[in-house]
Amino acid sequence: MSAFSLKDLQVRFEQATALDVGDLELPVQGLTLVTGPNGAGKTTLLRVLAGVQPPTRGTLRYRGQVVSFGRAGLAHRRRVTLVAQDPFLFKKKVLANVAFGALARGFKGEEVLARARKALEAMGCGHLAGRDAGGLSGGERRRVALARAVATGAEILLLDEPTAEVDSENSERLRLLITTLAGTGTGIIVSTHQPEWAGPHARSQLKLSAGRVIAFSREDGSA
Amino acid sequence: MREPSLDFLLDGFREGILRALRGDPQVLSAARVTLQVSLGSTLLAAVLGLPVGYVLATKRFRGRGWAIALCQTLLGLPTVVVGLLVYGFLSRRGPLGFLDLLFAPGAIVVGLVILITPVLVVFAMTALASLDTRARETALTLGASARLAAWTLVLEARFGLLAAVLAAFGRAASEVGLAMILGGNIEGYTRTLTTAVALESMKGEFGFGIALGVVLMIIVLATNMLIRLLQRT
């Protein structure tokens, strides 16, 4: 069964159509890339999949269940998580930021801290735990945001342009972290301008242009 | 005819500061009433105004623009007009006369709540609206319920919201016309620092007026310093 099933799905902002993908099955095993130029609808698609952007038309299913939006969408928002292109960190310590998702999902006390610390270590930023989030560099902020997403324990991570506007060293570091994470079995969907971003690690690739799907390839060769 | 001189002013300041430092019972009594009515009205206005500010900052609904314009207009409410209207409502012949609040601290609190609630609404709205719009969505994508996401937004704006409360408190503490009309300036009961200053200056007790003014300035100054501190944070 595909992780996401989109049926006749369209998102419009006022008069403009941001996304019009019709029917689409996204299996999401390992790493899936969503590629396309600016304005292709990559961010809108990820926000729909994350349950924070209701479609204007059509339905979204996750593992067979229809996804609700708004207050009723809480259950879905706890199964997937989104890291925005320019991630927002709360005015708190780094550790408190990373612990937020686990706390929101109802984990308690020590378990929350243990998850947060483990995720920070995995992203190579355990030493930042006690720092104020406001004082981090761009690369650090992205890694902390990634750690925060990992600490939620979500089934699927949606990462919007995780290496955009990051220097080459940090970009490579983030790419390695994400591909390693995908190798551990976490479902990850990454939006990017660069189709070659994940090299051989991408198991499927969806190409968007002007809000429409122009190609979809899977590792098994189906399209 | 007397020569104009600064001595009269300087003597007044000297006497006033000495009385304030000595803890003059009348000064302390007026300070106590001022703090009581200001804190009480700020608390009530915060309970009413902060949620309204939140709704205006975060929700989109028909008439929102008009509601914001109304609150902004109410910022400039003439205090004596508020005092007069509340007086009408609370007087024996008024619709709320049965509450028997007139010339009691409760009447001043009612008037101050009407006066400072728009201050809280507008300041809270500005603090929340100037926040990064991603704060709430980030909380939602991390699995927060709508309530937790709203609370997260409030926590992110905590310094701005506290500054709004302090600004409202400052306005309440320095109010005079309304306190005079609704409280009646009864010593030890409804006489605030501002109404006492008005009375003493009319009686020619300049020094005593200065003593009251010094205490009032300390309260207002401390409030403003707190606001500045929070804004820097």
Sequential DSSP letters for B76-129: T--HHHHHHHHHHHHSTTSTTGGG--TTSHHHHHHHHHHHHHHHHHHHHHHHHH
Chain B from 111 to 140: CB within 8 A of any A CB = 132, 134-135, 137-140
In this structure, which amino acid lies at residue A6? L
The answer to whether A71 contacts B148, with C-beta atoms less than 8 Å apart, is no
What is the pLDDT, as a whole number, of residue B1? Answer: 57
CB contact, 8 Å: A154 with chain B? Answer: yes
Residue B9 has pLDDT above 80, yes or no: no
List, for residues B133-156, the tens digit of each pLDDT value: 789 999 999 999 999 999 999 999
What is the pLDDT, as a whole number, of residue A220? Answer: 61
Residue with tokens 């706390």: A103
Nearest chain A residue to B142, by CA: A101
Compute the distance between CA of residue B209 and CA of residue B193 in angstroms, rounded to an integer.
9
The answer to whether B142 contacts A91, with C-beta atoms less than 8 Å apart, is no
Residue B61 has pLDDT above 80, yes or no: yes
What is the pLDDT, as a whole number, of residue B119? Answer: 95
What is the pLDDT, as a whole number, of residue B180? Answer: 94
Question: How close, in Å, is residue A171 to chain B by CA atoms?
Answer: 22
Q: Average pLDDT for residues B162-168, to the nearest whole number?
A: 92
What is the pLDDT, as a whole number, of residue A1? Answer: 60
Long-range contacts, A72-77 (Cβ 8 Å, 24+) = A74/B143, A74/B145, A74/B146, A76/A51, A77/A50, A77/A51, A77/A52, A77/B140, A77/B141, A77/B143, A77/B144
| pLDDT level of residue B23 (50, 70, 90 thresholds) | confident
Structure token pair of residue A8: 């006749």
Low-confidence ranges of chain A (pLDDT < 70): 1, 220-223
List, for residues A10-67, the tens digit of each pLDDT value: 999 988 999 999 899 998 778 999 999 999 999 999 999 999 999 999 999 999 999 9
What is the pLDDT, as a whole number, of residue A6? Answer: 95
Nearest alpha-carbon partner for A29 in A167, A222, A150, A202 = A202
What is the pLDDT, as a whole number, of residue B2? Answer: 64
Interface-testing mutation among B136, B141, B145, with chain A (most A C-beta atoms within 10 A): B141
Q: Which of B134, B135, B141 faces A77 most closely, judged by CB atoms?
A: B141
Reduced to 3 states (helix: H, G, I; strand: E, B; else coil), residue A29 is: coil
Chain A from 163 to 222: CB within 8 A of any B CB = none
Compute the distance between CA of residue B55 and CA of residue B226 in angstroms, rounded to an integer.
26
Structure token pair of residue B216: 């009032």
The answer to whether A104 contacts B146, with C-beta atoms less than 8 Å apart, is no
Nearest chain B residue to A75, by CA: B143
Q: Average pLDDT for residues B71-92, to the nearest whole number?
A: 93
Compute the distance between CA of residue A192 and CA of residue A160 in angstroms, rounded to an integer.
7
Residue-averaged pLDDT of chain B: 90
| pLDDT level of residue B106 (50, 70, 90 thresholds) | very high
In this structure, which amino acid lies at residue B38? S
Interface-testing mutation among B142, B148, B153, B158, with chain A (most A C-beta atoms within 10 A): B142
In this structure, which amino acid lies at residue B2? R
Nearest chain B residue to A77, by CA: B143
Q: Render the burial of A11-43: b for 16+ CB within 10 Å, e for the rest.
A: beeeeeebbbbeebbbbbbbbbbbbbeeebbbb
For residue A132, the 8-state DSSP code is B
More confident residue, B70 or A197: B70
Nearest alpha-carbon partner for B25 in B160, B223, B184, B215 = B215
Radius of gyration of chain B (CA): 21
Are residues A106 and A157 in contact, defined by beta-carbon separation less than 8 angstroms?
A: no
ipTM over 0.95: no
Question: How close, in Å, is residue B156 to chain A by CA atoms?
Answer: 6
CB contact, 8 Å: B153 with chain A? Answer: no
Phi, psi of A204 (to 5 degrees): -150, 155
Question: How close, in Å, is residue A220 to chain B by CA atoms?
Answer: 31
For residue B149, the 8-state DSSP code is H
The answer to whether A90 contacts B138, with C-beta atoms less than 8 Å apart, is yes
What is the pLDDT, as a whole number, of residue B229? Answer: 82
Per-domain boundaries in chain B: 37-195
What is the pLDDT, as a whole number, of residue A222? Answer: 54
Instruction: Classify domain B37-195 at the CATH topology level.
Output: MetI-like fold (1.10.3720)
Q: Which of A78, A86, A90 faces B156 most closely, judged by CB atoms?
A: A90
Nearest chain A residue to B158, by CA: A91
Chain A from 67 to 96: CB within 8 A of any B CB = 70-71, 74, 77-78, 81-82, 84, 86-88, 90-91
Residue B13 has pLDDT above 70, yes or no: yes
Between strands A16-26 and A187-192, the pairing is unpaired
Q: Which of B135, B142, B155 faces A104 most closely, judged by CB atoms?
A: B142
CA A215 to chain CA centroid, Å, is: 20
Structure token pair of residue A150: 């990992």
User: Which chain B residues have a beta carbon less than 8 Å from that of A101?
Assistant: 142-143
Interface-testing mutation among A49, A80, A90, with chain B (most B C-beta atoms within 10 A): A90
Compute the distance between CA of residue A66 and CA of residue B203 in angstroms, rounded to an integer.
78
Centre a 10 Å sphere on the Cβ of residue B126 and count the other Cβ atoms it contains. 16
CB contact, 8 Å: B156 with chain A? Answer: yes
List, for residues B175-200, the tens digit of each pLDDT value: 999 999 999 999 999 999 999 999 99
Structure token pair of residue B16: 């006033």
More confident residue, B71 or B211: B71
